Structure 1
Amino acid sequence: MKAGRTGDGSLAPDIDSILDRAAALLHAGELVGVPTETVYGLAADATNPVAVARLFERKGRASFQPISVLCGSSEMAFGLLANVPESAARLAARFWPGPLTLILRKRAEALPDLLTAGLPFVGVRIPDHPLTLALLERFGGPLAAPSANRSGHLSPTTARAVEDEFGEEIALVLDGGPCRVGVESTVVSLVHRRPILIRLGGIPQELLEEEIGSVDRETDSPCLSHRHYMLRTPLFLVRTPEAILLPERKEAGFLAWGPCPEGFSLCRSLSLTYRLDEAAGNLFRQLHELDDCGLRRIYAVLLPDRGLGCAINERLRKAADASASSGNLPEGGYASSPASPSSS
């Protein structure tokens, strides 16, 4: 069941009763789809091992992959942790609520080991979405909330995509409208002497470094699993649309950066005006649309490799690599050079 917004996009007049129902379902160990500014999450009571186990089962998620949690305040988040270094406090003060997950050492008794895959660390963040913040306040505790998709599928950025993914397997989906950011949160580990950027996302690396100095990059992490972006349709990254011959375009889709080129069976533009923020918000929705149309293949170009463009390119490369690893890509692999105007 979907609830939360009316047909014109405004909040439903019975939102209090909807939030009460959602909180009651969570306290009973059920799963609820929730909106955030990044992607929709599949939420469970983070302190309930049975609910967390149900979350792993519904997503088809490997038990060795830890799940991060959503909190309604810094006090709630920091209350789960054994200590909070100054760097974490500074990042939280600047970017929370927002698309930043901080990995820190947890208090042993605060969360079940299943949630963190037996590791002594946990990822925490405060989402920047009024509906889910209201739910967190109503619920009164942290929510385990990975993206609301089965493992290996694209992350959802609308309530409809969550419904299409899980149907009656979850009791309720809160409809908060399309996700504003559209790519997952940036993930930073602060458990070592130097901060490590685990995953590119809604907060660019440059902004993190403005606050806490240089940040190392991690390239071997469960967060970077290529299978997380598996498409049914092969994805082929090219340098420019001109590299694709006209006969090859007839049964193909194209994910454009700027205006759509001619000749493709279906084209979607991440941003006609070369805006990276708009492109991030459109990425998963447009990949879903192209993937659902029965095309033989999808072509895409990479964006300028800076700011949010880095996060978008990372997800496109993962999806293309997943296609290649399953033997779906056409000969020639894919190119990684962006060929488009700069954006603001």
Structure 2
Amino acid sequence: METKIFAKDQLDDAVDLLAKGELVAFPTETVYGLGAIATNEKSVKGVYAAKGRPSDNPLIVTVSDEEMMRRYAKEVPERAEKLIKYFWPGPLTILLFVKPGSLPDAVTGGLDTVAFRCPDDELTHNLISKLGYPIVGPSANTSTKPSPTTAQHVYHDLKGKIAGIIDGGPTRVGLESTIIDLSVKTPIVLRPGEITPEELSEVLGEKVLINTGKVSDKEIPKAPGMKYRHYAPSAPVVVVDDVNDFSKVDFNENIGVMALKDQLAKIDLPDENKFNLGNDLVDADHNLFGGLRYFDDKDNIKQIYVQGFYDGEESLAYMNRLNKAAAGHHFNK
């Protein structure tokens, strides 16, 4: 299969492919998503196949607006309306009860809930509006690999497996959306993102919990990112919690380092063994996946040391992704 890359003025071509049941990757403000019409079970199953994604991992339903979401949500409670008014379009995914029979089990995992997202990206908004249907939107990468933040990342992973990629340039945020579960009595963040639990709590006027539990092998996760290995390059990743510990690492030509600019300047390694995460945590959020992919393409790199951050809720999303990439391995020497 030929994978076409579409420019911004070729959106109608991408719409035509989706309408025919093909798979097309699309940009959002967080990461690139892999699109298929959410009501087309065959196309949705194609998403799992292209990614090599476990079939019990539910998919996010990406909509153009609240009106489209209401076609598939069993009910939209007041607290969902509050969050939609304040954060949509934006990097927030809302888990609600699904209208029975409105979406295939391939989307919901057979659960009675589904996650809805309305991205803050004009291209994708127009894509879905022209299509007239919601699309599923898991990250457009090979399952377990770092999420894609450019069209080139998508092409690297899915060339020949999908029909097209809409090139919207580099993403703004760089980490996937916050997922909040509103199907339970007390709202709970299932996956942290740019929007923090504190910000959600302020808008809702009630406490918001943070999921810390693990999903067992036999359970179906309510949302993406809760059960399976994610974001990992080929080389093992190690989290460095204290930047002073970088001085204890036995550096050599087979080691890669990802850290803030000022920290990298203190490390005696060739430039090609370093990846600059930027000047602060916001930059690091944006650059994390790019750095993991940078080293994934280097055959000589056998281990990657990455700077950790512990800045309260602001660093939850970064550390969530990094810990998954590292499979929980932290430096202690």
Scaled by the length of structure 1, the TM-score of the pair is 0.87
Q: Distance in 1 between matches of 2:176 and 2:6?
A: 22
Residues 334/246 of structure 1: CA separation in 2 closer, same or farther (3 Å cut): closer
Q: Distance in 1 between matches of 2:98 and 2:252?
A: 51
Paired residue type of 2:55:
S
Q: 1:191-340 maps to which residues of 2 (within 5 A)? A: 191-212=183-204, 213-218=206-211, 219-221=213-215, 222=221, 223-238=225-240, 239-240=242-243, 242-245=245-248, 247-259=250-262, 260=264, 261-265=266-270, 266-272=273-279, 274=280, 276-294=281-299, 295-321=301-327, 333-334=330-331
Q: Distance in 2 between matches of 1:217 and 1:307?
A: 10
Q: Distance in 1 between matches of 2:246 and 2:283?
A: 25
Q: Residue 46 of structure 1: CA displacement?
A: 0.2
Partner of 1:19: 11
Residues 186/165 of structure 1: CA separation in 2 closer, same or farther (3 Å cut): same
Q: Distance in 2 between matches of 1:36 and 1:149?
A: 14
Paired residue type of 1:122:
V
Q: Is the 8 A contact 1:156 1:162 kept in 2?
A: yes
Q: Residue 204 of structure 1: CA displacement?
A: 1.4
Q: Distance in 2 between matches of 1:315 and 1:50?
A: 30
Report SS of the residue matched to 2:105. coil
Residues 106/226 of structure 1: CA separation in 2 closer, same or farther (3 Å cut): closer
Q: Is the 8 A contact 1:226 1:321 kept in 2?
A: no
Q: Is the 8 A contact 2:91 2:193 kept in 1?
A: yes
Q: Distance in 1 between matches of 2:236 and 2:261?
A: 22
Report SS of the residue matched to 1:63. coil
Q: For residues 187-216 of structure 1, what are the alpha-carbon distances to aligned partners after superposition, in whole Å with 9 as ceiling and x for unaligned?
A: 011111111110001211211111112111
Q: Residue 247 of structure 1: CA displacement?
A: 4.2
Q: Is the 8 A contact 1:41 1:145 kept in 2?
A: yes
Q: Is the 8 A contact 1:31 1:43 kept in 2?
A: yes
Q: Structure 1: 5+ residue runs without aligned partners?
A: 6-10, 325-332, 336-344
Q: Does 1:125 align with 2:125?
A: no
Partner of 1:339: none
By relative contact order (CA 8 Å, sep 6+), the higher-ranking structure is 2
Q: Structure 2: 5+ residue runs without aligned partners?
A: 216-220
- Aligned-pair Cα RMSD in Å: 1.7
Partner of 1:61: 53
Partner of 1:330: none
After TM superposition, where is structure 1 displaced by more than 3 Å over at least 4 residues in a row?
A: 1-5, 241-247
Q: Residue 334 of structure 1: CA displacement?
A: 3.0
Q: Residue 242 of structure 1: CA displacement?
A: 4.2
Q: Is the 8 A contact 2:197 2:209 kept in 1?
A: no
Partner of 2:75: 83
Q: For residues 216-247 of structure 1, what are the alpha-carbon distances to aligned partners after superposition, in whole Å with 9 as ceiling and x for unaligned?
A: 12223442235112220111112225444464
Indicate the percent of aligned positions where both proteins have the same amino acid: 38
Scaled by the length of structure 2, the TM-score of the pair is 0.89
Q: Residue 91 of structure 1: CA displacement?
A: 0.6
Report SS of the residue matched to 1:211. helix
Partner of 2:174: 182
Q: Residue 271 of structure 1: CA displacement?
A: 1.6
Q: Distance in 2 between matches of 1:79 and 1:281?
A: 33
Q: Is the 8 A contact 1:19 1:138 kept in 2?
A: no
